[in-house]
Structure 1
Amino acid sequence: MSNIVYGGLSLILPGLGQVLAGQIRRGILFFLSLITMVSILYSQAADLGRRAGEGWAAMARAFSRRPGFIGFMILVLIALWLLGAYDAYRCAKEKRKVNTGIFALVLLGFFIQGWQISEIDLVKMVRQAPEALPPLSRVMWPWDAAFERDTDVLSGKAIIMTGEGTPPEQTEPVEGKPYLKSEPNFGELSKRDDDYNMVPGTRITVTGSGFAPRMETEIWWKDPIGNEFRPREGGEYLVLTTDDEGKFQFEMTLPYQLTPPSAEGAFLHTLEARQVTPVGPYKPSEALRLTVGRMVETIFMGMMATMFGIIFSIPISFLAARNIMSGSKVSMFFYYLTRTILNIVRSIEPLIWALIAVVWVGLGPFAGIVALTLHSIAALGKLYSEAIEGIDHGPIEAIQATGASRLQTIMYGVIPQMVSPFISFSIYRWDINVRMSTVIGLVGGGGIGFLLIQYIRLLDYRSAGIAVWFIAVTVAILDYVSAEIRNKLM
């Protein structure tokens, strides 16, 4: 058959020419790669152009939205199709693997598709970097939230009515006590119109007296059901400083608050001015106390999971060692069965086991211990069994020559050789379990991970930073301790 015919066959069916030329694996791999790339491109085009229908209409819509990506991928596919035909021609002519550039082009195509699927946007990353700096700085330096002092709060309140009704009477100032007055003390809250545009509420003038002089004062708003928040003016929280006589005056718009359509009548809101003064010595904050407690819990989770993993994996490892179980067909059956179970359990990440354990035993550290123990048994069982398979058979043969039983052979010929690797693997697994226990808490498996995810969801980056620092320091210390133990015992 002519070399040109091999190339023509690959033009008809990619990879066919390589297969007929004797490069079967090369042809199949090229065919599957090309089909995979086409399938992914079609899926992406269908997703981008799903509103335009299917087929060529969707492709045209996708091209209008992502002309660079779709166009370049089509060129790559055409180049691969033609290069595949040339590769088949060369394979038939030279009878050896040539033209490795074809698979470089395949990798380039997959890289481009991966870039699109994973939605990598370097421009967005650079543009939004300044927005990430404030929370990142709180995480990197969270110690302002690690310690706190008792506070003395000096506050004055004014009642403001919204809705229909008779406005409340204004209170009179009392000598030596903070006083707050709103004029008027009634009005309408800010709201949104049918086009979701903001409609400003009533403008009021607030006057305060009897406060500490030259001190920062925060303004708070409390609705009729007790919800508190800090109102904003011009996008900034209302914060002002009193004069030398402890007085101040400012204007504000009644804030926006979602009100149920069925709400009728008059509603009384509270406007409050607060001066917060730290008093007493510094003490650990609640975030620091919770972090320390959860970190201790995390360490013991890793320790308990490692201990249980060692206890159960040692006997299992002998069942998974070929040189121990090769005596009969029955023992080899248990060898393959044990190996298969260990591979299945080990292939499932501890995070998935934690999700199952949470359903099994409920939220908390016990679920984390169960998840880590299951994975530790599978991992240590494999490591122990491979160490057993690599032992020196000289002592075993010498012991067997004395007429020792299988159990005696294991006790005096196998176990003494296993002490050193067993200790090394066990310490390493403890280190892994402590690291993993910080992660499985994210799904309710207890430990500091559970606390960390709560802080992140609440956007409390300083408290989250305390947890991150404790995780990093603890893992570093445990890594040092495990290395020292390994040096002492090995």
Structure 2
Amino acid sequence: MQSRKVISKPQKESLVSPVIAAILSAIIPGLGQILARVVNRGLIILASFVTSLGLLIWRIATEGSRYTGWRTVVSKAYKLNPFLYAITALMVITYIYGIVDAYLTARPGAKKSKAIGMIFLIILVFFMQGWEIGQIDMGALFRDADEAVPALSKVVWPWEKAISYPEEYRTTIIDVQTPCTDVPFPAGEIKTDEPYLIADPTCGVPSVVEVSQGTEFHVVGGNFVPGKPVEFWWKDSANREFHHRVDGDYLIVTPDKDGSFEVSVIMPYRTLTAAAEEGVKVWQIQARQLISVGKAEFSEELKLAVEKMIETIFIGMMATFFGIILAIPVSFIAARNLMSHSPVTMAIYYLVRTILNIIRSIEPLIWAIIAVIVVGLGPFAGILALTLHSLAALAKLYSEAIESIDSGQIEAIQATGANWFQVVSHAVIPQIIPPFVSFTIYRWDINIRMSTVIGFVGGGGIGYLLAQWIRILDYRSAGIAVWFIAITVAILDFVSADIRERFV
């Protein structure tokens, strides 16, 4: 058996000499290749160089935007971002390589090469520009990774927060007056059968930010449960409560064996404006002590996660249902083989296809933002967003399934004199049921996944809850939500695979 030798055919004769081609490529990258009749390569080189040069100019302008004068802008940009030197050097190498390539390409009798080196350099230039634009810092990824470990560990194993123990606190209060008046404000009294607080003095003024420290109160407590911590809180004249802090830490004291303690607390900053605090006001010093812990029960976070996960599943389910109902009739008028019999039907076909492409090109997150503006926050907005996208996606998939059916059956039915509706019902529908089921299950799976994401923009479901927990840095609660999402998606993957196996 003889092996065949592949012989490269020489390309068409160049319109210019190799030297002229090289000079022209030095003036306009790719022009020499174009005149050497390697048009595609020349256009790729020209488009790539113009694009990369535009990106480089943009990055230089961005880095040096605080300066004036183009010389100053360029020098400052390279000084602030030395990575631009590497990009510029690589572009120069690519530019020179393009000139050499133009010379070699324009030589008489030159064989057509694949220009792998030029393609590699172009890809490398864009990769480096993407690295710089994306501000990729692998050093920061590994250097700061240890700082993320505590948060990630809470997300990976959040189940401590899935169980809660009802806590019962006993709150003991004493009122203090601000400001002091000529009439003495009553102090607390010593009690024999219940906890009490006594403050000295009984009046004072709040702290003023960066100006003065508030009144220091000497607080004596008695009849508390010995050995159990007592937390101190304040309630201002507007009934707003806040934990008392000392040097950034919460103030907590532990009563002695007699249930007594002494502590000094400074009146905190006012939470209202000075005008609102005018006149005599009464504040409270609160001492809260945990006295009992109840039995284990599911936490509110876990209950919320279950509730919102169910909501998420139904958002995806309802969006898929509505998407199917709307997409099926649209898919028949978006199938070329069914609409190519007259200019009118072809015009309808192109119109429907254009609308579907526009709807599908807009991501569900954007549709969710638009839906939230129209109907407000909640699951209905998420259903509307996913329904629109499902309509466009399923109609496209359904129509392509219709276009790929066996045309022989259609011609046979048409030969009997059947009308359009009879052709569809007898020749089209029996062939499209399996792919329709497959595409529907696939879309249902996508909608369930997307319904967890659109909640981030107010589309309801567990995504909305997850976004709130992340914003307040409650990583254990966020971890519970992530686990429910992962478990639900895994179950749905199994169910959808089983359904596809049965019906497709």
TM above 0.5, one fold?
yes
1:93-112 equivalences in 2 (<5 Å): 93=107, 94-112=110-128
Q: Does 1:305 align with 2:319?
A: yes
Tell me the SS of whatever aligns to 1:50.
coil
**Count of residue pairs the alignment pairs up:** 485
Aligned to 1:174: 191
2:150 pairs, out of 97, 113, 134, with 134
Whole-angstrom CA distance in 1 between matches of 2:185 and 2:77: 62
Deviation at 1:168, TM superposition (A): 3.6
Q: Does 1:124 align with 2:140?
A: yes
1:235 pairs, out of 207, 224, 248, with 248
Are residues 390 and 84 of structure 1, via their aligned partners in 2, closer, same or farther at CA, if it must alter by over 3 Å?
Answer: same
Deviation at 1:53, TM superposition (A): 1.2
* Aligned residue identity for 2:476: R
Tell me the SS of whatever aligns to 1:281.
coil
Deviation larger for 167-176 or 379-388: 167-176
Contact 2:228/2:290 (<8 A) preserved:
no
Q: Does 1:218 align with 2:231?
A: yes
Tell me the SS of whatever aligns to 2:170.
strand
- TM-score in terms of structure 2 length: 0.88
Q: Structure 1 unaligned runs (5+)? A: none
Contact 1:215/1:242 (<8 A) preserved:
yes
Tell me the SS of whatever aligns to 2:460.
coil
Whole-angstrom CA distance in 2 between matches of 1:451 and 1:404: 55
Tell me the SS of whatever aligns to 2:453.
helix
1:246 pairs, out of 248, 259, 269, with 259
Whole-angstrom CA distance in 2 between matches of 1:351 and 1:188: 51
Are residues 129 and 210 of structure 1, via their aligned partners in 2, closer, same or farther at CA, if it must alter by over 3 Å?
Answer: farther
Contact 2:188/2:199 (<8 A) preserved:
no
Deviation at 1:84, TM superposition (A): 1.8
1:191-202 equivalences in 2 (<5 Å): 191-193=208-210
Whole-angstrom CA distance in 1 between matches of 2:490 and 2:288: 43
Q: Does 1:92 align with 2:92?
A: no
Deviation larger for 35-44 or 125-134: 125-134
Aligned to 1:447: 461
* Aligned residue identity for 1:303: M
Deviation larger for 458-467 or 346-355: 458-467
Tell me the SS of whatever aligns to 2:130.
helix
Deviation at 1:32, TM superposition (A): 2.3
Are residues 400 and 98 of structure 1, via their aligned partners in 2, closer, same or farther at CA, if it must alter by over 3 Å?
Answer: closer
Deviation at 1:371, TM superposition (A): 1.3
Contact 2:236/2:271 (<8 A) preserved:
no
Are residues 269 and 26 of structure 1, via their aligned partners in 2, closer, same or farther at CA, if it must alter by over 3 Å?
Answer: farther
Q: Does 1:473 align with 2:490?
A: no
- TM-score in terms of structure 1 length: 0.90
**RMSD across aligned positions (CA):** 2.6
Deviation at 1:421, TM superposition (A): 1.2
Contact 2:161/2:299 (<8 A) preserved:
yes
Whole-angstrom CA distance in 1 between matches of 2:264 and 2:388: 63
Q: Percent identity of the aligned residues?
A: 49
Deviation at 1:416, TM superposition (A): 1.0
Deviation larger for 255-264 or 386-395: 255-264
Whole-angstrom CA distance in 2 between matches of 1:348 and 1:394: 37
Whole-angstrom CA distance in 2 between matches of 1:104 and 1:201: 69
Q: Structure 2 unaligned runs (5+)? A: 1-15
Tell me the SS of whatever aligns to 2:425.
helix
Whole-angstrom CA distance in 2 between matches of 1:108 and 1:10: 20
Tell me the SS of whatever aligns to 1:343.
helix
Deviation at 1:268, TM superposition (A): 4.0
Tell me the SS of whatever aligns to 1:243.
coil
Are residues 118 and 204 of structure 1, via their aligned partners in 2, closer, same or farther at CA, if it must alter by over 3 Å?
Answer: farther
Are residues 79 and 402 of structure 1, via their aligned partners in 2, closer, same or farther at CA, if it must alter by over 3 Å?
Answer: same
* Aligned residue identity for 1:210: N
Are residues 435 and 208 of structure 1, via their aligned partners in 2, closer, same or farther at CA, if it must alter by over 3 Å?
Answer: same
Tell me the SS of whatever aligns to 2:173.
strand
Aligned to 1:16: 31
